[in-house]
Amino acid sequence: MLDHRLGEEHDLLRETVREFANDVVAPVIGDYYERHAFPYPIIREMGKMGLFGLPFPEEYGGMGGDYLALGIALEELARVDSSVAITLEAGVSLGAMPIHKFGTEEQKRTWLPRLCGGEILGAFGLTEPDGGSDAGATRTTARLDEAAGEWVINGSKCFITNSGTDITGFVTVTAVTGTDADGRRQISTIIVPSGTPGFTVAPGYSKVGWNASDTHELAFDDCRVPQANLLGELGRGYAQFLNILDEGRIAIAALATGLAQGCVDESVRYAGERKAFGKPIGANQAIAFKLADMELRAHTARLAWRHAASKLVHGEPFKHEAALAKLYTSEAAVDNAREATQIHGGYGFMNEYPVARFWRDSKILEIGEGTSEVQRMLIARGLGVGG
Protein backbone atom coordinates (compact mmCIF):
# COMPACT_ATOMS: atom_id res chain seq x y z
CA MET A 1 0.00 0.00 0.00
CA LEU A 2 1.40 3.39 -0.99
CA ASP A 3 1.70 5.96 1.78
CA HIS A 4 2.44 9.47 0.57
CA ARG A 5 2.78 10.91 4.06
CA LEU A 6 6.21 12.41 4.58
CA GLY A 7 8.66 11.14 7.16
CA GLU A 8 10.18 13.49 9.72
CA GLU A 9 13.26 14.34 7.63
CA HIS A 10 11.30 15.01 4.46
CA ASP A 11 8.75 17.09 6.34
CA LEU A 12 11.49 19.16 7.94
CA LEU A 13 13.04 19.73 4.52
CA ARG A 14 9.68 20.86 3.15
CA GLU A 15 9.25 23.37 5.97
CA THR A 16 12.80 24.66 5.61
CA VAL A 17 12.58 25.19 1.85
CA ARG A 18 9.12 26.75 2.13
CA GLU A 19 10.42 29.26 4.67
CA PHE A 20 13.40 30.04 2.43
CA ALA A 21 11.14 30.49 -0.61
CA ASN A 22 8.77 32.81 1.23
CA ASP A 23 11.36 34.85 3.15
CA VAL A 24 14.32 34.97 0.75
CA VAL A 25 13.07 34.30 -2.79
CA ALA A 26 9.61 35.90 -2.88
CA PRO A 27 10.58 39.45 -1.86
CA VAL A 28 13.23 39.90 -4.57
CA ILE A 29 12.65 37.48 -7.44
CA GLY A 30 10.25 39.75 -9.32
CA ASP A 31 13.03 42.30 -9.83
CA TYR A 32 15.44 39.65 -11.16
CA TYR A 33 12.69 38.35 -13.42
CA GLU A 34 11.91 41.71 -14.97
CA ARG A 35 15.61 42.44 -15.52
CA HIS A 36 16.18 38.97 -17.01
CA ALA A 37 18.96 38.63 -14.45
CA PHE A 38 20.31 35.43 -12.93
CA PRO A 39 19.80 35.46 -9.12
CA TYR A 40 23.33 34.58 -8.01
CA PRO A 41 22.79 35.46 -4.29
CA ILE A 42 19.75 33.17 -4.10
CA ILE A 43 21.56 30.31 -5.84
CA ARG A 44 24.52 30.78 -3.52
CA GLU A 45 22.26 30.42 -0.48
CA MET A 46 20.63 27.32 -1.97
CA GLY A 47 24.10 25.84 -2.34
CA LYS A 48 24.89 26.53 1.31
CA MET A 49 21.63 24.84 2.28
CA GLY A 50 22.74 21.71 0.42
CA LEU A 51 19.85 21.72 -2.04
CA PHE A 52 22.09 20.97 -5.03
CA GLY A 53 23.41 17.91 -3.22
CA LEU A 54 20.12 16.49 -1.98
CA PRO A 55 20.07 13.13 -3.84
CA PHE A 56 23.82 12.47 -3.85
CA PRO A 57 26.02 10.44 -1.45
CA GLU A 58 27.79 12.25 1.36
CA GLU A 59 31.16 10.94 0.18
CA TYR A 60 30.87 13.27 -2.83
CA GLY A 61 29.63 16.24 -0.84
CA GLY A 62 25.94 15.42 -1.12
CA MET A 63 23.23 15.27 1.53
CA GLY A 64 22.60 11.52 1.23
CA GLY A 65 18.94 12.04 0.40
CA ASP A 66 16.78 10.72 -2.42
CA TYR A 67 14.71 11.85 -5.39
CA LEU A 68 11.69 12.42 -3.17
CA ALA A 69 13.71 15.00 -1.23
CA LEU A 70 14.65 16.76 -4.46
CA GLY A 71 11.02 16.81 -5.59
CA ILE A 72 9.89 18.28 -2.28
CA ALA A 73 12.43 21.09 -2.58
CA LEU A 74 11.43 21.79 -6.18
CA GLU A 75 7.74 21.91 -5.36
CA GLU A 76 8.24 24.36 -2.51
CA LEU A 77 10.47 26.65 -4.57
CA ALA A 78 8.10 26.61 -7.56
CA ARG A 79 5.19 27.68 -5.35
CA VAL A 80 6.98 31.04 -5.33
CA ASP A 81 9.09 31.08 -8.51
CA SER A 82 9.91 28.67 -11.32
CA SER A 83 13.15 30.29 -12.50
CA VAL A 84 14.85 29.42 -9.24
CA ALA A 85 13.26 25.96 -9.23
CA ILE A 86 14.36 25.12 -12.78
CA THR A 87 17.90 26.23 -11.97
CA LEU A 88 17.96 23.65 -9.19
CA GLU A 89 16.21 20.98 -11.28
CA ALA A 90 18.55 21.33 -14.24
CA GLY A 91 21.60 21.66 -12.01
CA VAL A 92 20.82 18.37 -10.27
CA SER A 93 18.92 16.23 -12.81
CA LEU A 94 20.75 17.27 -15.97
CA GLY A 95 24.03 18.64 -14.67
CA ALA A 96 25.20 16.51 -11.76
CA MET A 97 23.13 13.32 -12.13
CA PRO A 98 24.84 12.14 -15.36
CA ILE A 99 28.22 12.49 -13.62
CA HIS A 100 26.95 10.55 -10.61
CA LYS A 101 25.31 7.76 -12.62
CA PHE A 102 27.81 7.30 -15.46
CA GLY A 103 31.05 9.05 -14.52
CA THR A 104 34.34 7.45 -13.64
CA GLU A 105 35.56 7.74 -10.07
CA GLU A 106 37.94 10.49 -11.16
CA GLN A 107 35.13 12.41 -12.86
CA LYS A 108 32.97 12.10 -9.76
CA ARG A 109 35.76 13.32 -7.49
CA THR A 110 36.53 16.18 -9.85
CA TRP A 111 33.03 17.54 -10.35
CA LEU A 112 30.48 16.29 -7.79
CA PRO A 113 31.68 18.04 -4.62
CA ARG A 114 31.55 21.46 -6.28
CA LEU A 115 28.23 20.66 -7.96
CA CYS A 116 26.68 19.48 -4.71
CA GLY A 117 27.83 22.63 -2.93
CA GLY A 118 26.38 24.90 -5.60
CA GLU A 119 29.83 26.33 -6.33
CA ILE A 120 29.40 25.44 -9.98
CA LEU A 121 26.53 24.40 -12.23
CA GLY A 122 26.56 21.68 -14.85
CA ALA A 123 24.43 21.63 -18.00
CA PHE A 124 23.33 18.96 -20.45
CA GLY A 125 23.61 19.76 -24.15
CA LEU A 126 21.13 17.56 -25.99
CA THR A 127 18.63 19.62 -28.02
CA GLU A 128 19.77 20.93 -31.41
CA PRO A 129 18.21 23.46 -33.81
CA ASP A 130 16.98 20.62 -36.07
CA GLY A 131 16.29 18.06 -33.36
CA GLY A 132 13.86 18.59 -30.47
CA SER A 133 11.71 15.59 -29.62
CA ASP A 134 13.73 13.59 -32.16
CA ALA A 135 16.82 13.59 -29.96
CA GLY A 136 18.28 10.69 -31.89
CA ALA A 137 18.75 13.01 -34.88
CA THR A 138 21.89 14.48 -33.30
CA ARG A 139 24.17 16.19 -35.82
CA THR A 140 26.93 17.33 -33.49
CA THR A 141 29.99 15.16 -34.06
CA ALA A 142 32.99 14.20 -31.96
CA ARG A 143 36.00 12.75 -33.76
CA LEU A 144 38.75 11.07 -31.76
CA ASP A 145 42.21 12.38 -32.60
CA GLU A 146 44.08 9.35 -31.31
CA ALA A 147 47.51 10.92 -31.75
CA ALA A 148 46.59 13.83 -29.51
CA GLY A 149 44.29 11.79 -27.25
CA GLU A 150 41.50 14.33 -27.74
CA TRP A 151 37.91 14.54 -28.92
CA VAL A 152 37.34 17.15 -31.63
CA ILE A 153 33.75 18.39 -31.36
CA ASN A 154 31.77 20.28 -34.01
CA GLY A 155 28.12 21.26 -33.95
CA SER A 156 25.57 23.26 -31.99
CA LYS A 157 23.01 22.90 -29.21
CA CYS A 158 20.04 25.10 -28.31
CA PHE A 159 17.80 25.86 -25.33
CA ILE A 160 20.43 24.68 -22.82
CA THR A 161 19.69 25.63 -19.20
CA ASN A 162 22.50 26.74 -16.85
CA SER A 163 24.97 26.78 -19.73
CA GLY A 164 26.21 30.36 -19.63
CA THR A 165 26.29 31.55 -16.03
CA ASP A 166 29.41 32.86 -14.32
CA ILE A 167 29.45 29.64 -12.28
CA THR A 168 28.80 27.14 -15.08
CA GLY A 169 31.58 24.55 -14.81
CA PHE A 170 30.87 22.37 -17.84
CA VAL A 171 28.33 21.17 -20.36
CA THR A 172 27.89 17.48 -21.14
CA VAL A 173 27.07 17.18 -24.84
CA THR A 174 25.70 14.35 -26.93
CA ALA A 175 27.59 13.79 -30.18
CA VAL A 176 27.91 11.25 -32.97
CA THR A 177 31.18 9.41 -32.38
CA GLY A 178 30.98 6.81 -35.13
CA THR A 179 28.80 4.13 -36.75
CA ASP A 180 27.79 0.79 -35.27
CA ALA A 181 28.17 -2.50 -37.14
CA ASP A 182 24.50 -2.37 -38.16
CA GLY A 183 24.96 1.08 -39.71
CA ARG A 184 23.28 3.07 -36.97
CA ARG A 185 24.96 6.19 -35.71
CA GLN A 186 26.87 5.87 -32.47
CA ILE A 187 25.97 8.61 -29.99
CA SER A 188 28.15 9.29 -26.95
CA THR A 189 28.27 11.96 -24.23
CA ILE A 190 31.35 14.08 -23.58
CA ILE A 191 32.15 16.60 -20.84
CA VAL A 192 33.17 20.02 -22.18
CA PRO A 193 34.49 22.39 -19.47
CA SER A 194 33.49 26.04 -19.71
CA GLY A 195 36.10 28.21 -21.37
CA THR A 196 37.43 25.43 -23.60
CA PRO A 197 38.72 26.94 -26.88
CA GLY A 198 36.21 26.39 -29.67
CA PHE A 199 33.28 26.29 -27.23
CA THR A 200 31.13 29.42 -27.65
CA VAL A 201 28.10 30.44 -25.61
CA ALA A 202 25.68 32.69 -27.50
CA PRO A 203 23.86 35.59 -25.78
CA GLY A 204 20.88 34.56 -23.66
CA TYR A 205 17.50 34.07 -25.31
CA SER A 206 14.63 36.53 -25.04
CA LYS A 207 12.11 34.17 -23.43
CA VAL A 208 8.42 34.29 -22.64
CA GLY A 209 9.03 32.91 -19.15
CA TRP A 210 11.67 31.55 -16.77
CA ASN A 211 13.28 34.96 -17.20
CA ALA A 212 15.50 34.67 -14.13
CA SER A 213 16.98 31.40 -15.33
CA ASP A 214 19.90 30.95 -17.73
CA THR A 215 19.34 29.57 -21.25
CA HIS A 216 21.67 29.70 -24.26
CA GLU A 217 22.55 28.33 -27.65
CA LEU A 218 25.98 26.68 -27.78
CA ALA A 219 28.44 26.25 -30.64
CA PHE A 220 31.42 23.91 -30.98
CA ASP A 221 34.04 24.66 -33.63
CA ASP A 222 36.91 22.16 -33.55
CA CYS A 223 36.54 22.17 -29.78
CA ARG A 224 39.12 19.83 -28.25
CA VAL A 225 38.79 18.04 -24.91
CA PRO A 226 40.76 15.11 -23.46
CA GLN A 227 39.74 11.59 -24.46
CA ALA A 228 39.12 10.93 -20.75
CA ASN A 229 36.19 13.37 -20.87
CA LEU A 230 33.99 10.67 -22.39
CA LEU A 231 31.10 10.19 -19.96
CA GLY A 232 29.96 6.60 -19.61
CA GLU A 233 30.34 4.00 -22.34
CA LEU A 234 31.22 4.84 -25.92
CA GLY A 235 28.06 4.68 -28.02
CA ARG A 236 25.73 4.59 -25.01
CA GLY A 237 25.06 8.31 -24.88
CA TYR A 238 21.50 8.13 -26.17
CA ALA A 239 20.54 5.34 -23.76
CA GLN A 240 22.11 7.27 -20.90
CA PHE A 241 20.17 10.36 -21.88
CA LEU A 242 16.87 8.45 -21.86
CA ASN A 243 17.66 7.15 -18.39
CA ILE A 244 18.34 10.67 -17.15
CA LEU A 245 15.14 12.01 -18.72
CA ASP A 246 12.95 9.39 -17.05
CA GLU A 247 14.11 10.62 -13.65
CA GLY A 248 14.04 14.24 -14.72
CA ARG A 249 10.37 13.99 -15.62
CA ILE A 250 9.59 13.32 -11.98
CA ALA A 251 11.52 16.43 -10.99
CA ILE A 252 9.69 18.55 -13.59
CA ALA A 253 6.40 17.10 -12.35
CA ALA A 254 7.23 18.23 -8.81
CA LEU A 255 8.10 21.69 -10.12
CA ALA A 256 4.84 21.86 -12.10
CA THR A 257 2.92 20.84 -8.97
CA GLY A 258 4.51 23.71 -7.08
CA LEU A 259 3.44 26.19 -9.75
CA ALA A 260 -0.09 24.77 -9.72
CA GLN A 261 -0.24 25.08 -5.92
CA GLY A 262 1.23 28.57 -6.02
CA CYS A 263 -1.64 29.59 -8.29
CA VAL A 264 -4.08 28.26 -5.69
CA ASP A 265 -2.32 30.06 -2.83
CA GLU A 266 -2.25 33.43 -4.60
CA SER A 267 -5.81 33.13 -5.88
CA VAL A 268 -7.29 32.20 -2.52
CA ARG A 269 -5.53 35.16 -0.95
CA TYR A 270 -6.71 37.52 -3.67
CA ALA A 271 -10.28 36.19 -3.63
CA GLY A 272 -10.48 36.94 0.09
CA GLU A 273 -9.16 40.49 -0.28
CA ARG A 274 -10.68 41.70 -3.55
CA LYS A 275 -14.22 43.02 -3.18
CA ALA A 276 -16.84 43.49 -5.87
CA PHE A 277 -20.45 44.46 -5.37
CA GLY A 278 -19.90 44.77 -1.63
CA LYS A 279 -18.37 41.37 -0.86
CA PRO A 280 -15.15 39.40 -1.42
CA ILE A 281 -15.14 37.80 -4.85
CA GLY A 282 -14.43 34.45 -3.19
CA ALA A 283 -17.98 34.51 -1.85
CA ASN A 284 -19.22 34.12 -5.41
CA GLN A 285 -19.80 30.51 -6.37
CA ALA A 286 -18.26 31.05 -9.82
CA ILE A 287 -14.93 31.97 -8.19
CA ALA A 288 -15.24 29.40 -5.40
CA PHE A 289 -15.74 26.59 -7.90
CA LYS A 290 -12.71 27.73 -9.91
CA LEU A 291 -10.63 27.58 -6.74
CA ALA A 292 -11.99 24.13 -5.89
CA ASP A 293 -11.03 22.81 -9.32
CA MET A 294 -7.58 24.38 -9.03
CA GLU A 295 -7.02 22.74 -5.65
CA LEU A 296 -8.16 19.41 -7.07
CA ARG A 297 -5.59 19.65 -9.86
CA ALA A 298 -2.76 20.61 -7.50
CA HIS A 299 -3.65 17.83 -5.06
CA THR A 300 -3.84 15.18 -7.78
CA ALA A 301 -0.60 16.44 -9.31
CA ARG A 302 1.15 15.97 -5.97
CA LEU A 303 -0.08 12.40 -5.70
CA ALA A 304 1.13 11.69 -9.24
CA TRP A 305 4.72 12.88 -8.84
CA ARG A 306 5.10 11.38 -5.36
CA HIS A 307 3.84 8.03 -6.65
CA ALA A 308 6.45 8.05 -9.42
CA ALA A 309 9.16 9.18 -7.00
CA SER A 310 8.23 6.45 -4.54
CA LYS A 311 8.68 3.78 -7.19
CA LEU A 312 12.05 5.26 -8.19
CA VAL A 313 13.26 5.43 -4.60
CA HIS A 314 12.25 1.80 -3.99
CA GLY A 315 14.01 0.55 -7.10
CA GLU A 316 10.82 -0.34 -8.96
CA PRO A 317 10.09 0.36 -12.64
CA PHE A 318 8.81 3.93 -12.85
CA LYS A 319 9.01 5.00 -16.51
CA HIS A 320 5.23 4.75 -17.04
CA GLU A 321 4.42 6.59 -13.81
CA ALA A 322 6.97 9.31 -14.60
CA ALA A 323 5.31 9.98 -17.96
CA LEU A 324 1.88 10.05 -16.34
CA ALA A 325 3.10 12.49 -13.69
CA LYS A 326 4.87 14.77 -16.14
CA LEU A 327 1.88 14.93 -18.46
CA TYR A 328 -0.74 15.51 -15.80
CA THR A 329 1.18 18.00 -13.67
CA SER A 330 2.32 20.15 -16.58
CA GLU A 331 -1.21 20.44 -17.94
CA ALA A 332 -2.53 21.10 -14.42
CA ALA A 333 0.00 23.93 -14.07
CA VAL A 334 -1.11 25.53 -17.36
CA ASP A 335 -4.80 25.21 -16.42
CA ASN A 336 -4.26 26.65 -12.94
CA ALA A 337 -2.17 29.53 -14.26
CA ARG A 338 -4.90 30.43 -16.73
CA GLU A 339 -7.59 30.32 -14.05
CA ALA A 340 -5.48 32.27 -11.57
CA THR A 341 -5.00 35.02 -14.12
CA GLN A 342 -8.75 35.08 -14.76
CA ILE A 343 -9.54 35.33 -11.05
CA HIS A 344 -7.13 38.25 -10.69
CA GLY A 345 -8.72 40.01 -13.64
CA GLY A 346 -6.74 42.98 -14.92
CA TYR A 347 -4.27 42.65 -12.05
CA GLY A 348 -3.42 39.17 -13.27
CA PHE A 349 -2.07 40.78 -16.43
CA MET A 350 0.32 42.96 -14.42
CA ASN A 351 3.83 41.63 -13.86
CA GLU A 352 3.89 42.87 -10.27
CA TYR A 353 1.53 40.03 -9.38
CA PRO A 354 3.08 36.55 -9.02
CA VAL A 355 0.33 34.92 -11.10
CA ALA A 356 1.54 36.86 -14.14
CA ARG A 357 4.90 35.10 -13.76
CA PHE A 358 3.15 31.79 -13.18
CA TRP A 359 1.16 32.23 -16.39
CA ARG A 360 4.28 33.04 -18.41
CA ASP A 361 6.27 30.20 -16.81
CA SER A 362 3.68 27.44 -17.11
CA LYS A 363 3.62 26.77 -20.85
CA ILE A 364 7.21 25.53 -21.12
CA LEU A 365 6.31 22.73 -18.71
CA GLU A 366 4.29 21.09 -21.51
CA ILE A 367 7.36 21.26 -23.77
CA GLY A 368 10.63 20.81 -21.86
CA GLU A 369 12.02 17.37 -20.92
CA GLY A 370 9.56 15.68 -23.24
CA THR A 371 6.50 17.34 -24.77
CA SER A 372 2.97 16.35 -23.80
CA GLU A 373 2.76 14.49 -27.11
CA VAL A 374 5.86 12.47 -26.23
CA GLN A 375 4.40 11.65 -22.81
CA ARG A 376 1.18 10.39 -24.41
CA MET A 377 3.25 8.28 -26.78
CA LEU A 378 5.16 6.74 -23.85
CA ILE A 379 1.98 6.12 -21.88
CA ALA A 380 0.32 4.46 -24.88
CA ARG A 381 3.36 2.23 -25.40
CA GLY A 382 3.12 1.23 -21.75
CA LEU A 383 -0.43 0.11 -22.47
CA GLY A 384 0.75 -1.91 -25.45
CA VAL A 385 -0.85 0.35 -28.07
CA GLY A 386 0.21 3.14 -30.39
CA GLY A 387 2.96 1.36 -32.31
Catalytic residues: 369
Residue 6 CB: number of other CB atoms within 10 A? 15
SS3 state at 119: coil
Listed in sequence order, the DSSP H helices in 274-318 are 285-313
Q: Is 159 helix (H, G, I), strand (E, B) or coil?
A: strand
Phi then psi dihedrals of residue 353, to 5 deg: -95, 135
CA-nearest of 8, 112, 4 to 52 is 112
Looking from the CA of 199 toward its CB, the CA atoms found within 13 Å total 25
The Cα 43–Cα 120 span in angstroms is 10
**Residues 327, 300: contact at Cβ < 8 Å?**
no
DSSP-derived pairing of the beta strands 199-201 and 121-125:
unpaired
Query: Exposed, middle or buried, 308 (CB in 10 Å: 0-12/13-18/19+)?
Result: buried
Question: HSE-up of 22 (CA within 13 Å, CB side)?
Answer: 10
Using DSSP's 3-state secondary structure scheme, residue 168 falls into strand
The number of residues in the chain equals 387
Query: From the CB of residue 69, how many other CB atoms can be counted at a distance below 10 Å?
Result: 22
> Would you give the DSSP letter of residue 65?
-
**Given the DSSP bridges, would you call strands 150-161 and 215-226 parallel, antiparallel or unpaired?**
antiparallel
Are 380 and 327 in contact, with CB atoms under 8 Å apart? no
Is 46 in contact with 118 (CB distance < 8 Å)? yes
